[in-house]
Structures are given as structure tokens and as C-alpha cells.
Structure 1
Amino acid sequence: MRTLAIAALQTTPVPYDTEATWTRFADQVRATRELFPHVRLVTVPELLLAAEGPLLGPAPAGWTEQVATTVPGPVTDRLCALAVETGLWLVPGSVFERAEDGRVFNTALAISPEGEIAARYRKVFPWQPYEKATPGTGFTVFDIPDVGRVGLAICYDGSFPETVRQLAWLGAEVVIQPTLTTTRDREMELVCARANAWTNQVYV
């Protein structure tokens, strides 16, 4: 039997403080490693490391531009080091990624215990008009040796049946879908996640 123990940490950032948010995240990952040694993969909510604030709260002007990072870059360097330290696979929510041409994407990452970027997925369905990130153009899977194939999705992607269907066609057996929702539509997102899991015979 193949097993994959996943810790989905229901955590929050320190609003608009990326350094304090990183410290909280890293401490929680280390605590998970200590408390639950059987866990192999840790994931957290969408845009956690971007230290996004409340939906209707005041935000610093141009915050997305301020925190957008290259991939690879300083944020992924830290993530890779943490993965090596803990021996865990990390799917650290998503980050605002600045591409070479200056466009900004909402990007989910998968970091291996060897400290490598195993996958990068740019959110295909940004929640418009609120989310200003550029849409991605393709779906992404990665392999965990001796376990199976994992697909990546982000939040609103799950509202479109084609997302998980395509990941299943690409061989995914598990879909990790970091999500940032604090509003009443969370109930419907759970319905979609369950439907996507059932109709495609994958774990979501």
C-alpha cells in the first residue's frame, strides 16, 4: 500500500509583514515535523508567504508589486533550505511570482526534501476582477518517488471542472489546492472539491 500523509495547516499570515509571516510559517513546519513524524508533505493557504491582509481591510499601495518575487529567487532559496532541514515536501501555498517580462503570476510551488523546485504552477483562473495576477496557461503535476503523482491547483481553479479533469488526465492521483477564502462561498468551494474528487477519482 502507498500512503501519503499530508498536513494542511490552517494558518494565517501576519498581514503585510513578510518576515514575521515567514518566521511563523517556518516554525509551524518545524513543529509539524516534530509532532507528526509520519507526515511527508506540508501545505498552507494560498498567498500565505505574500502576507496578504483581510479582503476588505486597508492595504499598502502596490503591495502585490512589492512582494512579487522571482522563481527561483530569495523566497524559494529559503523554502528549499527549510525542506532540506525538515526532510519534508513543501507546497507553501502560493506566491506572487514576477516573470522575466515583468508580469506577475499567482504561483504555487512544490519543493522536494532535496531542496529542489519540483514544480511551479501559475494559477489559470484568477478570481477576477479582484485578483490582478496574470492567468497562467497550463496545468502542472509532479512525482513523489514511491508514492505517486500530485497535481497543483489554486483556490478558484477548483470552480472549473476542467482543472481537476486535466490534472487527472496528466496522471495526478492527488490534487493539492491551496485556497484563500474567508467569505461565505467557502461552503460552495467544498462542494466543488468533493465533486472534483469523486468524478475524477482523485484526492483533493
Structure 2
Amino acid sequence: MSRHLRLALVQASAQSFEDFAQGLRSLMKSPNAAELVIYPELHLCSLGAETMSEREYYTAYAEPLDGPRGMALAGLARELGIWLIPGTVLERGADGAVHNTAVVYNPQGELVADYRKIFTWRPYEPMCPGRRFVVFDMPGTGRVGLSICYDAWYPEVTRHLAWMGAELVVNLVQTSTSGRAQEIPLNQANAIVNQIWVASVNGAAPTAQGHSLLVDPEGGIRVAAGMEDTTLLGVIDFDRVAATRKFGTSGDSWPWDQFRADDSPLELPLYNGHIDPATWRPAISPETRNDLRPAGPVVFCRPAGENGPQ
């Protein structure tokens, strides 16, 4: 059974909720209709932000995930029968702290994942950083990890998501600076070294630098945009992840199989820890075909949201 996913990467400028909802409904009646639709970072929380103080900004956009905005997003996903990642939102937590949070809704309108950006863009981004890595399962298809913009600059984030079994990492971006030029090879590198798919969705000009892209598990750019308002349509073959790991990147590199069971742990002074060969290999999606599973020991996953392989 093949595991293909049709996804739409919507590279657009910030919108009001009303314009966003209208545009999403129109998208789902067009040739770019998809099973998973993804928007940029802070897509619904950016209009007018450049003229607001921090307090005004938070007052305008920060709310709990189960607030009116969250209920409306859930209703849209349910109405259209799609997996929806509407970018990130300003989340006001129970303790009053504000986070830059990615949210994911399934076709039943359920909030199935929420991820608080860990590496906020300091000193320019004042939101409180998160402290957990997040993956979620698309039943019958595959496992997806979440990262937000500057997270892509820290290899620990994507490596951890891959270790937790993510076969696709969605990187939600709102880069308005020349740094987008560096983010393109960073996303390719994150795909290559972890042998996973990476989808990086940026906002469009004039408020952001665009250049959204979809990268396959060997680093090839499958679809890419310029700076304009556009929608990229791509098809993910989740079995490419297992096949790349079994047969090697370009047929000659197996980074996840570097360690043998009898290797001694490798100390990591940077983290005051170590790599244990017994727990090095990533989790494997239960959806992966048996003939694409590695010959070595298989490590199964805990449910999405828990911390990695057992």
C-alpha cells in the first residue's frame, strides 16, 4: 500500500481571518486542492503588527488555543475535510505567557498537535520559547514533525524530530530579511542528514522573502517558489524515507546506521551527555512497508507527543 500525501504550501502575505477562510475555500475548489494545506508563520497574526506596541499586539492576537480563533480554524478543517496547518498563532497560555505556536487540525476538526517555537528569533521576537519537540501521526500515511522558522538553524531540532519518527518536517517561516538565502540550504541539509522530507513555507513579498520549497530525503528540491504570492503543490512519498535509509543516500551513505551494537557510547561534552548506540536509531513509522524496514533491530514509536522511541 503506497503512502502518498498531496500537500499545498501556501506562500502568501498576512491575512485577516475572513480573507484567509475565503481563500482556503477557493483553494479547495481549484487544481491546487490538497489533503494537507500549510500556511506561513504568524499568517493570521501579523496584519498591522508593525505599528503596534508589544502590549497592543498581544491584546489584538493572543488567545488560548481553544478560544474563538481555534474553534473557527477547527470548523474550517472539518467543513473542508482537510488536514490544516494555518501557520502559527499567538497562544496565551494558562499562566499568561505568550507563545508562537504551530497548530494542526485533522479533517474531523480536532486539534491534534500544537508546538511552541523553541528557538525564538532573539532579540527581535519577544514570545516565550517552548520546551518540547512535537510530532503527530496522519493515520495510514505517515508521521510529521513541526518546526518554526529559526528552529531550522539549530540541527538539534530536526534531528530530534527525525529520531521521534518524523518522515516529514514542516518548517513554518515568516522571514522578511536576507537570511532567507541561508535558510534554503539549511532546509536541504536538514533533509539530507536526517533522510527525511522537509517542507519550508515562507510568507510572500512584500512582507516576507518567499522562496518556499519542498525537499526530498536526499536533498533534492522538488518544488520551489520565488517571492510572489503563490501556492506550491507537491506529493510526498513517505516510503522514500525508508527506502533512502535502506539503500543509502545516493546509494552510498547510511548515517542512521553509523553505530553498531557493540560500540561504546560517544561522549558529547557540548550537551553534558552522550550518544548511546543502543538508542541511536530513529523510530520507524508503523505505516512503513515491511520490505523497506532496515535489516537491523526495529524500534517502534510511542504515540505522537511522547518523547521518542521506547
Judge conservation of contact 1:142–1:150 (CA < 8 Å) in 2.
yes
- Where does residue 35 of structure 2 map in the other structure? 40
Q: Deviations 1:128-174 (Å, cap 9, x if unpaired)?
A: 01000101001100011111000011000000000100000110000
Deviation of 1:58 after TM superposition, in Å, equals 2.9
Q: For the pair shown, which has the larger CA radius of gyration, 1 or 2?
A: 2
Which structure has more relative contact order (CA 8 Å, sep 6+)? It is: 2
Runs (5+) with no aligned partner, structure 1: 15-20
Question: Would you say the 8 A contact 2:8–2:33 is kept in 1?
Answer: no
CA contact (8 A) 1:83 1:114 kept: yes
Contact 1:64–1:96 under 8 Å retained in 2: no
Q: Which structure shows the higher helix fraction?
A: 1
Give the partner amino acid of 2:91.
Answer: E
Give the number of the structure whose residues are more often strand, by fraction. Answer: 2
1:94: which partner in 2? 88
CA RMSD of aligned residues (A): 1.4
The answer to whether the 8 Å contact 1:8/1:42 transfers is yes
| 1:72-108 C-alpha deviation (Å, 9 max, x unpaired) | 1111100110001111101111011000110001000
State the one-letter code of the partner of 1:47.
L
Give the letter for the 1:159 counterpart.
Answer: W
Rounded to whole Å, the distance in 2 between the matches of 1:203 and 1:30 is 27
SS in structure 2 at match of 1:5: strand
Mean CA deviation greater in 31-40 or 84-93: 31-40
Separation of aligned partners in 2, 1:148 and 1:180:
26
Unaligned residue ranges in structure 2 (runs of 5+): 199-310
Match of 1:25 in 2: 20
TM-score by length of 2: 0.61
Is residue 49 from structure 1 mapped to residue 44 from structure 2 by the alignment? yes
Instruction: Provide closer, same or farther for how the CA distance between residues 130 and 52 of structure 1 changes in structure 2, counting only shifts above 3 A.
Output: farther
Say if 1:7 and 1:101 are closer, same or farther in 2 by CA, change over 3 A. Answer: same
Task: Report the AA paired with residue 46 of structure 2.
Answer: A
Using the size of structure 1 for normalisation, the TM-score is 0.92
1:76 aligns with 2:77: no
